[in-house]
A and B are shown apart, each in its own frame.
Chain A
Amino acid sequence: MSFIWLRTWHLGVKSLLLHPLRSLLTVLGIFIGVASVVWLLAIGEGISRKAQEQIEGLGATNIIIRSIKPPEESIESAGSSRSIVPYGVTRADFDRLITTIPTIDRALPIREARYRFGYLGRNTEGRLVGCTPEYAEVNQLEVARGRFLSDTDDHEKWNHCVLAAGTAEKLFPFEDPIGQAIRIEKAFYLVVGVMKDRTPTAGIGGSLTAQEFNNDVYIPINTFWSRIGDIIVTRRTGSFEGEMIELSQITLRVDEVENVLKTAALVKETLKLHHRKQDYAVTVPLELLKQAKTTRLMFIVFMGLIAAISLVVGGIGIMNIMLATVTERTREIGIRRALGAKRGDITRQFLVETVVLSVMGGATGILGGLTCRPLIGALRGIMQRTAPEVFEQLPDVIREVTPIIVPWSIPLAFGISVTIGVIFGLYPAIRAAAMDPIEALRHE
């Protein structure tokens, strides 16, 4: 049994090598189809893995509202010539949201600004974050030494601060920061804790820049409001520019995952009623997941279509070539039948040839599929250089995707190619076997 198969394979390869170019071209369709299968699964996996990470970073039950500076025109059209422009979500919004929406079980007000921090002669720039004690937990920040901000710090509006790992490293390369006071603008803040290193999370609010925690300084939000206030003036080449923001961000946590989308809709409506300008953005991590799922689905449908079409076209190509081969080799079929080949032997012989073809397509297709990651990287690079506008238009998920080869896609792709070979090879093989040996022998 095994001997017969071995000989049949040997013979199949030999017969195909009689027309190497023809065999190669026949294989092309299967190659594209199989490579597409590997690609689509790798890209799909990359998208969902990325979305998963984003959700993990942002929290599936969270709704994040960020203040954003509205476009210049809309400020001017508002008829204001003030140099200090108020925008963003307010303390009133915050109170309104937590009192009117029952499914919100926790809300974090956050106020951020960029500042220079000083200790003795050393200076560093970073993000000053006014927040409540829950901030650390929500952002998965861990204390390295000392403690994070407490409720008392907040209520009493104490000048206490906690340093992120990077800030601590820069301001206190040699000393223990705990118990020292750092300078922010003209005020001093007592360091009560230092946080551990934290990898950046995915971007929110439509921006691609990841949230970087390592250069932060945390102070109680009430301290921020009372010491620094809502107005921040920055000097810019001779002129002053002022901004008035009450809250940079509100992170809402919803009680149940099922309620997230309904709550998000309510939040958006509530905010809309009180904002004439689009000076805030609402990010729902769960929606990111949904969006990623749709994009992934779109990709799978699209690539699946390409795969299906090229597999069918490849299969038809194989069938076409095999039908021609069978006709061409009618005489050989007659000889083999006369010398003792059963119908089954002839069927097997031609079936093996198609399977060899499709497996060649499958194997090269798998290799082509494995190049997915470097190839997409290269493609992205080329696009960024030659057509940056088009590139910008692409959805984030596509711009950022890192394909991940799904291990089982390889046996799957292999199985598909063998199946195609069998399906499209069966008819020519059966036709070959059905020939009358005497007729076949007489064929010129």
Chain B
Amino acid sequence: MTPAARMLEATKQYVMDGGTVHALRGVSLEIPTGDYVAIMGPSGSGKSTLLNLLGCLDRPTSGRLMLGDEEISGASDDRLSEIRASHIGFIFQSYNLIPQLSVLENIEVPLYYQGRIDRRQRQRSHELAELVGLGDRLKHRPTQLSGGQQQRVAIARSLINDPYFILADEPTGNLDSVTSEEILRLLNDLNEQGKTIIIVTHEPEVGKLAKRVVRLQDGSICSDKRTRE
């Protein structure tokens, strides 16, 4: 089976006035479908940069990236957008819901950029809202929801396009421990149902829930351990 993502000797450099910053120095990584990977490491080690590359928000300076069967490294800006709309799910630390849209509309945003919403997909957005426990809040605005509820909406949104993998950048960073646990349980359930999840975190407890921990140090992978199958 083709892995969800493969990265080969990817580097990322930022050229600034003061010189070049090497955010990633030749990272190779393979994410099989169904995996649950925690990316850990100190601040500034390149976690977010790696996640941005995997999420097709940015292109590597050198090296290759394959999503499914598609080569991403040389893709156009519009193609990257299409890939994000159809194959990638995002969960952010600060939820990042669109304030003027309702819960249901927020969940449907990626569909909108795929071009069309049919009745089956609308059905699916309802189901996903149910799945994350917000079936009775469909018309609510993000500001009317608690942080945990907002993050649930974001999780439902990340599932709507049935992505290759879900990228979560510190998804529990803004939540209290009880709510964090709920969210992590939800992610765990999703992984058990077969969803591929890549999560960036600096909290060891979060890392323990994943099947595999990738540690970054100064732009390179310093360890890549599978903790459970």
Contacts and interface: CB of A to CB of B under 8 A. Distances in A.
A339 B113 contact: yes
Interface-central residue, A14, A339, A343, by most chain B CB under 10 Å: A339
A438 B52 contact: yes
B59 to A, nearest CB: 12
A340 B55 contact: no
Given A331-B96, A336-B98, A343-B77, A438 B57 contact: yes
Contact of A343 (B57, B78, B86, B116): B78
Contacts of A336: 98, 109, 113
Contacts of A390: none
Given A14-B100, A18-B100, A345 B113 contact: yes
Interface residues of B, number: 29
B98 A340 contact: no
Contacts of A78: none
B100 A338 contact: no
B100 A340 contact: no
A437 B113 contact: no
B57 A339 contact: no
A341 B113 contact: yes
B57 A335 contact: no
A7 interface: yes
Contact of A340 (B77, B85, B99, B116): B85
Given A438-B52, A438-B57, A441-B92, A338 B78 contact: no
A342 B100 contact: no
Interface string A338-378: 11111111000000000000000000000000000000000
B84 interface: yes
Interface in B77-91: 77-78, 81-82, 84-86, 90
B43 to A, nearest CB: 15
Interface string B102-138: 0000000110111111000000000000000000000
B218 interface: no
Contact of A339 (B52, B99, B116, B157): B157
Contacts of B113: 336, 339-342, 345
Contact of B110 (A3, A339, A344, A438): A339
Interface in A1-17: 3-4, 7, 14-15
A337 B97 CA distance: 13
Contact of B55 (A338, A343, A344): A338
A307 B157 CA distance: 47
B109 A339 contact: yes
Nearest to B90: A338
A45 interface: no
Nearest to B118: A3
A93 interface: no
B170 interface: no
B81 A342 contact: yes
Contacts of A287: none
B119 to A, nearest CB: 13
B96 A3 contact: no
Contacts of A331: 96
A332 interface: yes
A340 B114 contact: yes
Contact of B84 (A3, A14, A340, A344): A340
B132 to A, nearest CB: 17
A18 B100 CA distance: 8
A339 to B, nearest CB: 5
A341 B98 CA distance: 13
Given A337-B81, A340-B86, A342-B77, A441 B112 contact: no
A265 to B, nearest CB: 71
Contacts of B81: 337, 340-343, 345
Interface string B155-180: 00100010000000000000000000
B118 to A, nearest CB: 10
A339 B86 CA distance: 9
A441 B84 CA distance: 15
Contacts of A7: 112
A3 B77 CA distance: 23
The CB with the most chain A CB atoms within 10 A, among B112, B114, B157, is that of: B112
Interface in A286-345: 331-332, 334-345
Contacts of A441: 92, 96
A442 to B, nearest CB: 9
A138 B208 CA distance: 108
A342 B57 CA distance: 11
20 contacts: A3-B116, A3-B117, A4-B112, A7-B112, A14-B100, A14-B101, A334-B96, A335-B109, A336-B109, A336-B113, A338-B57, A339-B84, A339-B113, A340-B113, A340-B114, A341-B113, A342-B78, A345-B81, A438-B52, A438-B58
Given A14-B100, A335-B97, A338-B55, 8 more contacts: A3-B117, A332-B98, A337-B81, A339-B110, A340-B84, A342-B78, A345-B81, A438-B58
Closest 4 CB pairs of A and B: A340-B85, A340-B113, A342-B81, A340-B84
